[in-house]
Structure 1
Amino acid sequence: MDYNLIKVFNSVCQTKSLTKAAEALNMTQPGISMALKKLREEVGVELYFRKGRGIELTSDGQWLHERFQKAEELLALGQSPELFRLYCTESLLYRLEGKIDAHFVESPLDDQQLFDDLFSRKIALVLDHLPRQSSALISEKIHSEKMVVVCREGHPRIGDVLTEEEYFSEQHIAIKMLRQNLSAFDYLAEQTVQERNVVTVTSSIASMMLIVSNSDRLGSVSESMFNRWGKALGLKCFDFPFPFKSVNYHITYHRRFINDLNHQRLRELIKQEVSL
């Protein structure tokens, strides 16, 4: 029997919908219907019937699904898994690289590329700030931490407290990143604030911290990044002097991986490491 028929039928059984199964497997709905028709012809029994907008398994369909599930599990266990390729935001990259057996790539600056590469299967998983934006994707929030403002220890105008007036009177370094067509700063600001005097734009948090350590400019980083590198670079940090969201990290992946045993193990390992 064609293994693709097993995958299609299991996906339909799990989602209870031809449409959702098509999204999960990156197929068209007519393609799903043709595969089910071929499977029905091979086994010679009715496997499901329509119920509202979804489907309900017949007793024969349920029996077959249980055996197909075991077949997929055995096939997955018997395979030598290749390293998954995943996008990871810089703040988590330093915490996970070398501890998780996967091919890490720093997240692209444009969030559209994140989703394009998930759908095209170039990437198996994304660790980033964005929740899912498609019914074909699954997104799980795994971590949250606050953002802080950083400047060098010997800053000539900023002492032990940072006021809103002082914040906006200084020059700033910004991250060249767009999420939902917003800059990283605008994406996390809880309200509309006055425009900052941004004089330098960089694509890396690490380079931002280095520039801040050798200038009088201000930057903003996650608290974990400051805790890891701030003191070594001679930096000090402050809470934002106006409402600013914590940054939430999500695991996002295509539904096609929901029952992939190796992918499940990867997700659990990532959650364990991030929670430490």
Structure 2
Amino acid sequence: MSETGKLDLNLLTVFLEVYRLKSITLASESLAMTQPGVSGALKRLQQQIGADLFTREGRGIAPTNAAIQLAQQIEPALQGITSAVSTLKQFDNQQHHQFHILVNESALIRLQPIVEADQTLGNISLEFNMVPNNEEELLHSLSMQKADLAIDIHYPQVNGYKTQRVQDDELVLITRKDHPRISDSISEAQYYHEKHVTFRMRRSNQYTADYFTTLPLKERKISAECDSLITMCALISSSDCIGSTSRYIANRFAERFQLQVLPIPFETVPVQQYMIWHKRTDNHPSHQWLRDKILQYAETS
């Protein structure tokens, strides 16, 4: 057992799936996790209980006596918990419940003020955290129920997860209002002539402009690279650099930072936000309530 004496119940779910399938590979597919993720969960559980759970047997694995005893004792309890939750007929927002939502910066700027002003939440609280930098960590957070939902532009195409488009936007260009060379519009030649402040998207690891264009962009003169849209707006407001962001963000901060918002001088694709969740929560009344709430917020923002 760990020093704190607390056993991570999420590890037991992974253990039972490996025990049922007698395969880390099959369990990782069933749980929509990576094989290293499953192996790591088993290792942590073995460390917590102080016993080996599986041994190598031919090309597969076999449960130890400790694993057999553990499965026999915990499987009925976990099945009872799952059954109790799945039989809930409705979600009561007067009961205390906290949802954990992973978001990108744009979604956070849109949603957090609306949530704080929402008087219909009752005893429900929504906590926002930034999406992780890599897809594996995002999927792990959803699979292990460390997060209920994620909202991002770049979504994983992996079995076991579901997505739904939340909002559409478009890419625009921003400069300071009193820019000495740019006013009302910008040509493609000007775009490449000017210096840029860029924003690198967290999980796709691409600049915003590159991600949302139909054709590859040429090399640009990069003055600064940011990991925050607000920082990018602030830098552009006090320099002759230009940058790209969504129209929502541009309009939201144009007055505050004295920015002009211009069309991009080349063809772009829509800026779309998606909800992402694990399929096991798809029919849970509480999760359905959460997704409906996010869609409601999206319509009003």
TM-score after normalising by structure 1: 0.71
2:152 corresponds to 1:158: no
Aligned mates of 1:229, 1:189 — CA distance in 2: 23
Deviation of 1:123 (Å): 1.4
Match of 1:90 among 97, 105, 117: 105
* Residue number in structure 1 paired with 2:261: 237
SS of the counterpart of 2:98?
coil
* Residue number in structure 1 paired with 2:46: none
Deviation of 1:186 (Å): 2.1
2:184 corresponds to 1:176: no
Match of 2:31 among 6, 19, 23: 23
* Residue number in structure 1 paired with 2:139: 115
* Residue number in structure 1 paired with 2:87: 72
Q: Is the 8 A contact 2:171 2:212 kept in 1?
A: no
* Residue number in structure 1 paired with 2:278: 254
Q: 1:191 to 1:112 in 2, by over 3 A?
A: farther
Aligned mates of 1:82, 1:119 — CA distance in 2: 19
Which is worse superposed, 161-170 or 222-231?
222-231
Q: Is the 8 A contact 1:111 1:178 kept in 2?
A: no
Aligned mates of 2:169, 2:113 — CA distance in 1: 22
Aligned mates of 1:242, 1:255 — CA distance in 2: 38
SS of the counterpart of 1:182?
coil
Aligned mates of 1:178, 1:22 — CA distance in 2: 27
* Residue number in structure 2 paired with 1:144: 168
For residues 209-240 of structure 1, the C-alpha deviation after alignment (integer angstroms, 9 at most, x for no partner) is 01100111111111111111112211001111
Aligned mates of 2:180, 2:93 — CA distance in 1: 63
2:218 corresponds to 1:194: yes
Aligned mates of 1:25, 1:191 — CA distance in 2: 33
Q: Is the 8 A contact 2:91 2:289 kept in 1?
A: no
Deviation of 1:115 (Å): 2.5
Aligned mates of 2:286, 2:176 — CA distance in 1: 44
TM-score after normalising by structure 2: 0.66
Q: How many residues are paired up?
A: 228
Q: 1:227 to 1:20 in 2, by over 3 A?
A: same
Aligned mates of 1:248, 1:110 — CA distance in 2: 19
Percent identical: 26
Aligned mates of 1:190, 1:180 — CA distance in 2: 16
Aligned mates of 2:90, 2:177 — CA distance in 1: 57
Aligned mates of 2:136, 2:85 — CA distance in 1: 36
Which is worse superposed, 138-147 or 169-178?
169-178
Considering Cα pairs closer than 8 Å and 6+ residues apart, tell me whether 1 or 2 has the greater RCO. 1
Aligned mates of 2:198, 2:277 — CA distance in 1: 28
For residues 135-172 of structure 1, the C-alpha deviation after alignment (integer angstroms, 9 at most, x for no partner) is 11000011110011000011111122200000110111
Q: 1:187 to 1:116 in 2, by over 3 A?
A: farther
Q: Is the 8 A contact 1:110 1:177 kept in 2?
A: no
Q: Is the 8 A contact 1:141 1:248 kept in 2?
A: yes
Which runs of 5 or more structure 2 residues have no equivalent in the other structure? 1-11, 17-25, 39-61, 77-82, 116-124
Which is worse superposed, 120-129 or 179-188?
179-188
Over the residues paired in the alignment, what is the CA RMSD in angstroms? 3.4
AA aligned to 1:156 is: P
Aligned mates of 1:131, 1:217 — CA distance in 2: 30
SS of the counterpart of 2:215?
coil
SS of the counterpart of 2:269?
coil
For residues 36-90 of structure 1, the C-alpha deviation after alignment (integer angstroms, 9 at most, x for no partner) is xx9xxx9xxxxxxxxxxxxxxxxxxxxxxxxx69962159659945311111121
Q: Is the 8 A contact 1:84 1:103 kept in 2?
A: yes
2:128 corresponds to 1:104: yes
